[in-house]
Amino acid sequence: MTLQPLMLWGLAAAALPVVIHLLNRLRFRSLAWGAMMFLIRATRTSTKRARLRHWLILACRALALACFAYALARPLAGGWLGVTLGGRPDVVLILFDRSASMETLDPRRRLPKREEGLRLLASAGQLGGAGRYIVIDSATLTPQPVASPEALAGMQLARATDTAADWPALFRAAAEWLLKNQPGRADLWVVSDLQGSNWMPDSREWPGLAARLAGIAPRVRVRVLALPTAPAQDRALNLRSARARHAGDKNSVQVAMTCLQAQNQPGKIPVVMNLNGQRTVADFESQGARDAWTRTLAADAGLGWGFWELPADDNLRDNRAYFVYGGETPLQGLVAAEQPLSGRLLQFAVAPVNAGLRRAELSTPHQPLALAGQSCGLVVWQGALPAGAAAAQLRRFAGDGGAVLFLPPVTHTPLVVSNALNEFAWGEVQAAENTQPFRVTFWEEQEGPLEHTADGRSLPVAQLAVARRAALHLAPASGREAGWVTLASFMDGKPFLARRAVGRGVFYACATLPEPDWSDLADGRVLVPMVQRMLEQGATRYSPTEHALCGAWKPASADDIWTAAGSEGRADPLTQAGVYRCGQRWLALNRPASEDVFEPLSSAQVRGLLAGVDVTVTEEHVSAETGSATPSEIWPLFVLLGVAFLLAEAWLTLLDIAGETRQQGARP
């Protein structure tokens, strides 16, 4: 790769010595000669060494000229710039990663990876010379023309965001643009930290994408500028929940956060807690890589907002988590149960006081689900798994943000895999032997329906005595679909409670029933809080306050105008985390949790995803000596080589002359 490729024509000069040699051979002179016998002997016997020396001299001359010509072309030693210089494409599509993890500071340069990427793009643009540049950024996925990569640095579409990146979608957008516009020879310049959760290597979309890109003519070249350096010191804060509490005339908000750190260093961490603009600082104890912090803060009645913030580290973007709270939320549920007793118990668990905003309807699985027009947050389904319209209705309900709890049928049913319900099925019912019930020995206490109480006490899950249980056949994660996660399990490892995210909502599956011959769930000590938490989760969408993930959230109506709440300057709810307000509705947007754990793909994995495509991955690690990731010019090396070849040529020529001089001295 060279900075002055035109000078490569100078390499033809390397042929000059050979051409001159051949011309000399062609323009020979004829001479009638007498002493032919000596000449024949001379050419026949011992000219090999002389010939070799003369060819070496010729080679030295040619190589010296080639070195000088190549030095004039200003060669580069590898690196990102070297990779992007291979020819001039008609168009360069820049796929730019604006995810939150790109805000990680480079350990030496102290510059976010995103800005380092912009800097390297600008350098490549100065050297390149493509016909035009199109940028597709991870936040908007919209192809937009730019004058040059240098101009990108000042543009909105290159600014930092709190979103995650969807690389299959980015490549899909690029492939569609190429197929639609047919721009001629195209290069794809990919700028990314190779964050695994963004690239989604398990996605089933990759083979098709690679085939589409490989099928585009002329051949598309993919040049990946990888910035996979891990942060040296980074903690990330993520919201688990924020709930308003009312105890008599005292109002408070219970905030639960998760703190992740890559370095696993225990110690006290000062956390700034901002509640409705009031700033306080509290120390939290960090035990290691993952901490769950909960704090109840005194708050006024009504709606409110706040955020917690960690001290500055190598990624300022993942230090803050926002929350909103308050407002009257309808907590209504629907129980569809085969067993009347279970139905009544579950109805009580959903709505202990069946009045006002807290209601629970009871029906059977055979009746149509009356979900439309109601503020239903939870559906409890006890019995054989639904099929057909009912299954589709439940899935849609969960996709819109509702929660569904499945409980097993009392009778044994054949193993049926329900595609509509994400490959979940009930297995055989198993009874405990003798008088030893099944015991739940593990459950997730940090978050979820079985998390500990506001005052930090555990639910009495361990005291549950389960006499009968149904086997849960759960599908693992596939492609972009999240898999089932076991939240609680029996001693033998079989699941008691499992969860799967579906759209904005969630499916739960519990292995036993609140029937007397199944378990003692009916005592309510575990069942009621568990169901109540599921209901709260499913009813969140009816709350005037909403928590959502930045990038995944979209306004329900184009007429809604969301503005930043408080004094924070982030005003774009589509890309920036923060607290936003639209009329009486409040919204807290946070980064996706996947951005907080940095697990980059390897270069080989990236090449594997784009099998069949011309892919070059350049990992730009900062040089410890120079602090620079740009490749260096190596023309001085070629000048030195050229001089060395000339010296060798001179030495060989002198050897020749010395040999001749010795012989001349002995001549008559």
Partner 1 sequence: MAAVAQRAFLDAAVLARLSRLTVNAREPMLGAVTGLHRSATRGSSVEFAEYRKYAPGDDIKHLDWRVFARTDRFYMKEFEADTNLRCQLVLDATGSMGYTGRHGRKLDYAVKLVATLAHLLVHQGDAVGLAVITHAGLKEIPPRRSAAHLRHILDALAALKPGGTADIARALHDLAEKVRRRAMVLVFSDFFAEAAPLINALQHMRYQKHDLALFQLLDRDEVNFEFDRPMRFMDLESSFQLITDPAVTAADYRRELDAHLEVLQRSSREFGADYQRVITDRDYEQVLATFILQRLRGGQAGGGGPA
CB of 5 to partner 1, least distance (A): 37
CB of 643 to partner 1, least distance (A): 25
Q: Return phi, psi of residue 16, to 5°.
A: -55, -50
CB of 75 to partner 1, least distance (A): 35
CB of 645 to partner 1, least distance (A): 20
CB atoms under 10 Å from CB of 35, counted, come to 7
CB of 64 to partner 1, least distance (A): 20
> Which sign does the torsion angle of CA 545, 551, 557, 560 carry?
positive
Please state, in angstroms and rounded to a whole number, the distance separating the CA atoms of residues 573 and 563. 8
The yes or no reply on residue 20 touching partner 1 (CB under 8 A) is no
24 vs 563 by CB, closer to partner 1:
24
28 vs 493 by CB, closer to partner 1:
28
The yes or no reply on residue 45 touching partner 1 (CB under 8 A) is yes
The yes or no reply on residue 47 touching partner 1 (CB under 8 A) is yes
DSSP 8-state code for residue 101: G
Contact segment (CB under 8 A) with partner 1 among 360-368, 554-562, 599-607, 655-663 equals 655-663
The yes or no reply on residue 29 touching partner 1 (CB under 8 A) is yes
Which structure tokens are listed for 573?
């709810």
Identify the residue among 16, 20, 38, 147 touching partner 1 (CB under 8 A). 38
Please state, in angstroms and rounded to a whole number, the distance separating the CA atoms of residues 625 and 637. 19
In three-state secondary structure terms, 7 is: helix
Size of the residue set binding partner 1 (CB under 8 A)? 33
The yes or no reply on residue 660 touching partner 1 (CB under 8 A) is yes
CA angle, residues 615, 618, 620, in degrees to nearest 5: 160
Contact segment (CB under 8 A) with partner 1 among 333-341, 525-533, 568-576, 653-661 equals 653-661
Please state, in angstroms and rounded to a whole number, the distance separating the CA atoms of residues 532 and 571. 35
The yes or no reply on residue 109 touching partner 1 (CB under 8 A) is no
Please state, in angstroms and rounded to a whole number, the distance separating the CA atoms of residues 153 and 156. 8
The closest of 469, 455, 465 to 523, measured between CA atoms, is 465
CB of 647 to partner 1, least distance (A): 21
Identify the residue among 33, 517, 557, 567 touching partner 1 (CB under 8 A). 33
Q: Where are the alpha helices (DSSP H) in 304-371?
A: 340-350
**Bridge partner residues of 136 (DSSP):** 95
31 vs 624 by CB, closer to partner 1:
31
Which structure tokens are listed for 454?
């506001």
457 vs 667 by CB, closer to partner 1:
667
CB of 42 to partner 1, least distance (A): 4
Which string of x and - marks every residue 48-77 that binds partner 1 (by CB under 8 A)?
--xx--x-----------------------
The yes or no reply on residue 665 touching partner 1 (CB under 8 A) is no
Q: Which amino acid is at 218?
A: P
CA angle, residues 32, 33, 39, in degrees to nearest 5: 140
The yes or no reply on residue 457 touching partner 1 (CB under 8 A) is no
Taking CB atoms within 8 Å and a gap of at least 24, the contacts of 242-245 are 242/306, 242/323, 242/324, 242/325, 242/547, 242/588, 243/325, 243/536, 244/299, 244/304, 244/325, 244/326, 244/327, 245/296, 245/454
**DSSP assignment of 262-294, as one string?**
SS---EEEEEEEEETTEEEEEEEEE-SSEEEEE
The yes or no reply on residue 411 touching partner 1 (CB under 8 A) is no
Identify the residue among 9, 18, 19, 41 touching partner 1 (CB under 8 A). 41
The yes or no reply on residue 40 touching partner 1 (CB under 8 A) is yes
CB of 660 to partner 1, least distance (A): 6
In three-state secondary structure terms, 318 is: helix
**Whole-Å CA distances, 289 to 285, 307, 446:** 12, 21, 14
CB of 44 to partner 1, least distance (A): 9
CB of 650 to partner 1, least distance (A): 16
Identify the residue among 6, 27, 433, 476 touching partner 1 (CB under 8 A). 27
The closest of 199, 191, 194, 189 to 221, measured between CA atoms, is 189
Identify the residue among 6, 34, 110, 145 touching partner 1 (CB under 8 A). 34
The yes or no reply on residue 31 touching partner 1 (CB under 8 A) is yes
8 vs 58 by CB, closer to partner 1:
58
CB of 33 to partner 1, least distance (A): 4
Contact 565, 380 (CB under 8 A): no
Contact segment (CB under 8 A) with partner 1 among 74-82, 414-422, 570-578, 654-662 equals 654-662
The yes or no reply on residue 658 touching partner 1 (CB under 8 A) is no
**Which residues of the chain form contacts with partner 1 (CB under 8 A)?**
24-25, 27-43, 45-47, 50-51, 54, 656, 659-660, 663-664, 666-668
